[in-house]
Amino acid sequence: MRVGLLSSPLLLILTWVSAVAESLPQWSDEDFARSRRGEIIAGIDILVEDKEVMATLKLSLANEVLPSIPEEPAIIYDPNVVPTDALELYFSAFETHLIDPQQLLTSPEYSEQEGFLNYHAENSSLGIKMFIFDADQTLPRTHTIDKICQQLYSDDYLTVVVYCFLGSPDRTQLAFAGEGSENITSAKQREILETAKIRAMGKSEPVLQLDSFIVQLSISLFWLETDLKKLMAVIDAEQSRVQAATAWMSSKKSGEVDVIKVADGGGLEVLKNQWYWIMSALMGLLTVVVVCVLAIRMWRKSQRYIFPVGETPERLGARYAAGVGAVLIFHKKIGSPSKQRNQIPDYLRRI
């Protein structure tokens, strides 16, 4: 019974002693530093038994200059920066209006928005380039919207470039580039952008925001285009006048002046442009009508009307005429002629 009581603590002590004895050696900080410097080689005491060899080896190791191992630069992945390979794809796509190489939109969403932009482009001479980025993504300084406009679209026809951050419509950027962009004031650009942003922010879903933004942008661009055409028409007309005046001053014939064709600015403008031809056509038509009327009148005048000679026997002893027509009294007392339709003999009238 006593042996049984003492055996349990004894077993515990034995187990602890054996565990301590069998545990691996621990690296101290100093040993780790020496190992890094090459002053010690791990396990050399076990592998080399001869003390002289050991001493020689240690000496050679101490004198050997080990090549320094370059430290690898830490690869830092930032999800908020647009990847470089994606940037190349963004700014090499010239065909499409909606550019989304990161495939932030699903295929149906992309097709729908691209379809609308194509529809707008069919009815407009103003190009749209819409780049889609993620909500928090940023672009490197080499790819700001102004630089992209200058590098890629400055020599093109008038194009509006839009950086659209999906889910963050307030971050949307817009700029105009190309021919005639200098005529669009910054205030007008801001107005277009703000209107579209407000429209987009009315929606909660990022795709719906994009849809609203594009629709409003399309509307604003239509009116902008109309205004620009009117402006161009005025400028062209002014240029034409200046050119005519210059020609006149230099004693040129007015017929030699190159009149610049005024741009189309609506139905009224078309009428104004074609005024000469419309007037000519009207005058021609009027002439034809007058000639026709005169010809008809002349033809009618030249017509001769022949009557068949009726076999009317002489009556009342009259040789040429016994046809007594109507008699009408035109005295004011008598009144309207309708009262005289029933002819009566004069002697009855006198009564």
Partner 1 sequence: MRCPRCVQKIHRSAAQCPHCNFTLSDLDELYGSDEVRLKRLTDMAGALRLSERRKLEGVLDEFQLSFPQLFFSVYYGALEDRTNIRQFGLWLLNHAAYDDLEINRPNDGGILLLVDLNTKVASITFGYLLDPFLTEDDTFNILAKAHPYLLQGNHLKAAQLVARQLSRLLKRKSRQAKRNPESFVVSSAMKAGATKDLERIRGNKIFGPDLDGQTEPYLQSKGKDVQR
How far the first Cα of the chain sits from its last, in Å, is 183
Report if residue 328 touches partner 1, rule: CB under 8 A.
Answer: yes
Token representation of residue 3: 């042996």
188 Rama sector, left if φ>0, alpha if ψ -120 to 50, beta otherwise: alpha
Report if residue 294 touches partner 1, rule: CB under 8 A.
Answer: no
Choice between 36 and 349, CB closer to partner 1: 349
> Could you give the C-alpha distances from 69 to 36, 41, 260, in angstroms and in order?
11, 17, 75
Choice between 208 and 327, CB closer to partner 1: 327
> Could you give the C-alpha distances from 290 to 114, 286, 296, in angstroms and in order?
58, 6, 10
DSSP-derived secondary structure letter, 66: P
Q: How far apart are CA 136 and CA 82, in angstroms?
A: 10
Q: How far apart are CA 68 and CA 47, in angstroms?
A: 26
Minimum gap (Å) between residue 290 Cβ and partner 1: 21
Stretch that binds partner 1, among 87-95, 124-132, 158-166, 342-350 (CB under 8 A): 342-350
Choice between 267 and 323, CB closer to partner 1: 323
Choice between 2 and 319, CB closer to partner 1: 319
Report if residue 341 touches partner 1, rule: CB under 8 A.
Answer: yes
Minimum gap (Å) between residue 249 Cβ and partner 1: 57
Task: Please tell me the total number of residues recorded for the chain in this structure.
Answer: 351
Q: How far apart are CA 145 and CA 217, in angstroms?
A: 17
CB atoms within 10 A of CB 149: 20
Site size with partner 1, rule: CB under 8 A: 40
Q: How far apart are CA 99 and CA 143, in angstroms?
A: 15
Report if residue 339 touches partner 1, rule: CB under 8 A.
Answer: no
- Could you give the string, one character per residue 297-326, with x where binding to partner 1 holds by CB under 8 A and - elsewhere? ----x-xxxxxxxxxxxxxxxxxxxxxxxx
CB-side exposure of 171: number of CA atoms within 13 Å?
Answer: 16
Stretch that binds partner 1, among 113-121, 250-258, 272-280, 333-341 (CB under 8 A): 333-341
Minimum gap (Å) between residue 336 Cβ and partner 1: 8
Choice between 142 and 336, CB closer to partner 1: 336
- Could you give the string, one character per residue 254-293, with x where binding to partner 1 holds by CB under 8 A and - elsewhere? ----------------------------------------
Report if residue 332 touches partner 1, rule: CB under 8 A.
Answer: yes
Binding stretches for partner 1 (CB under 8 A): 301, 303-332, 336-338, 340-341, 343-346
